[in-house]
Amino acid sequence: MDTHASPLAAIVATARTFLFVPGHRPDRFDKAAAGTADVVIVDLEDSVAPDLKRQARDHAAAWLGQGRRHRAMVRINGVGTPWYEDDLAVVAGLTDVVMVPKAQAPEDLVALSRRLPGNSGIVPLIETAGGILRAPDVCAVASVIRPAFGSVDLATQLGVDHRSYDALHHARSALVLAAAAAGCAAPVDGVTTSVEDEALLSADVEHAAALGYTGKLCIHPRQVDVADRGFTPSEREVSWAHGVIAAAAGGSVAVHEGQMIDRPVVLRARAVLARACGSRPAHQTDTGPA
């Protein structure tokens, strides 16, 4: 991510929870922004029917144009759709971060970044086979903050169950590798389509976290706190990390809990403490004046 990125881009880079809000439901915008999600995603794409696209775009522009950023990014319609150009014309400059669906061509993201303000960022939603195969190049685009994983659309294309960890294991891991290789923030995992099964949501978050994901796309406010807890380092992890840092303080190779402590282990411990101690956004209603 660009060192001159906007405050919202910095928030997106460390956020644990992202809550989708349909663009044609402006009655939900303020409520979502006042909730506990780190970032609100005003959606102009999948949750909005074709005959409501213009209305959703207008609602998003009106809300974002009030002079506050609201911790909100916008998912525009994809490149090549009938709505892409109009979406881009409206949201450019009203939000500092744009989510791009079906992202698979780095040249499209480069072209998009040239039409956004200089400190803007992009979150590519990787949800096609082509996107997974080209993920290293997509993540390497300078304006990309971090990728997100579109599990449901990808599973549909592959003809597999989006709830299957085994079926999507390779794709999920490939995205983690691509982000790490490009120096992006770690990926955001896809949605859990059941809004009432808290045990399933917790299991999904645990699985994603084990693979290297550090955030979750949410489709209902009740999912937010569960996802946040799942990506928060546990007391045991924090205790381990403090122990590693203390053991390594002498500057030579040490042992902690029977494990040799070298530089990679220290770096992992520091990352755990960074995630636990606030290197992420505080919950607030906006990020300041536009």
75 is in an annotated binding site: yes
Query: Does the annotation place 206 within a ligand binding site?
Result: no
86 is in an annotated binding site: no
Binding-site residue numbers are 75, 127, 153
Binding-site residue numbers for Mg(2+) are 127, 153
Binding-site residue numbers for substrate are 75, 127
